[in-house]
């Protein structure tokens, strides 16, 4: 029987964007093993209804729990916005951590004025998930959100620098930062958006802080593992396992575009929720 602390950390995303969270987790926790599930057959979640997102998330996360994990990271912002409380209720025996609360906490710490902008998917913005979370840490904060769907497509195609991504970033971001009471902090509220950082940074003034929820989530996971004595044994070899629900070839291509990281297609296991 495996010791609980030597089980892998489960990471769930609607597709491949959550690999930016996985990358941050591996940087913060290099000795830990990870089991990543991308629901590539049913992406994107950002345009789905709340009930659909909850049902998909429950189904995917049950698969990870069945494999055996010690902690679950909901790397998808949309799933974190709609499904996190239900997932925490459904899996009470393991910590379940989303990406929104860590990002909101970091934004409050980074913003001197309390004026914070959030860019995310349509579903996350519509749900006001970051606004609600930010206001729990700073009730006086002012939060403005904007959906930036083209960033997802550009990131997945690897178009992260050049005229097209830069003009897209200017189109999305200029209205958020054009008046005297503009935000002094921008939250990247989608796992694809860190890949767009070169274009995003060019569209912003240099004094605007950018919060990447991937790195802040990784810090939270490290704290939770230590709190519950779940850190792996020091002499254990870390391993990385990928699960997908469709199209391994696209998984590999998008992963390379997002992270410049080669994932061998043979290392990805296809799973079928209907099986």
CB 218 within 8 A of CB 25: yes
d(CA 65, CA 12): 11
Question: What are the C-alpha distances in Å from 61 to residues 58, 68, 168, 220, 226?
Answer: 5, 11, 34, 19, 23
d(CA 65, CA 87): 11
- Asked about 190 being catalytic, the answer comes back as yes
The two structure tokens encoding residue 166: 């830069």
Catalytic pick from 61, 148, 185, 190?
Answer: 190
Catalytic pick from 61, 76, 148, 185?
Answer: 76
User: How many Cβ atoms are within 10 Å of 4's Cβ, its own excluded?
Assistant: 15
Sign of CA dihedral 197, 247, 66, 85: positive
Catalytic residues: 76, 190
């Amino acid at each position: 029987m495996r010791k609980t602390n030597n089980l892998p950390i489960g990471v769930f995303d609607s597709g491949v964007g959550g690999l930016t969270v996985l990358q941050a987790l591996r940087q913060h926790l290099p000795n830990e093993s990870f089991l990543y599930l991308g629901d590539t057959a049913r992406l994107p979640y950002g345009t789905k209804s709340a009930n659909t997102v909850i049902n998909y998330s429950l189904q995917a996360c049950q698969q990870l729990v069945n494999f055996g994990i010690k902690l679950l990271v909901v790397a998808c912002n949309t799933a974190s916005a709609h499904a996190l409380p239900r997932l925490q209720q459904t899996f009470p025996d393991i910590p379940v951590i989303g990406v929104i609360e860590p990002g909101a906490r970091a934004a409050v710490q980074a913003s001197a004025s309390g004026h914070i902008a959030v860019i995310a998917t349509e579903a996350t913005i519509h749900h006001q998930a970051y606004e609600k979370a930010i206001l729990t840490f700073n009730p006086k904060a002012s939060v403005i959100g904007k959906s930036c769907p083209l960033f997802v497509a550009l990131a997945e195609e690897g178009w992260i620098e050049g005229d097209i991504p830069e003009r897209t970033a200017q189109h999305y971001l200029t209205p958020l930062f054009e008046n005297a009471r503009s935000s002094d902090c921008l939250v990247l509220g989608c796992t694809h958006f860190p890949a767009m950082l070169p274009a995003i940074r060019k569209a912003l003034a240099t004094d605007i802080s950018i919060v990447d929820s991937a790195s802040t989530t990784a810090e939270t996971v490290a704290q939770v593992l230590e709190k519950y004595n779940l850190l792996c044994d020091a002499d254990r070899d870390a391993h990385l396992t990928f699960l997908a629900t469709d199209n391994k070839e696209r998984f590999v291509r998008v992963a390379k575009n997002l992270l410049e990281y080669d994932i061998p297609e043979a290392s990805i296991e296809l799973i079928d929720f209907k099986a």
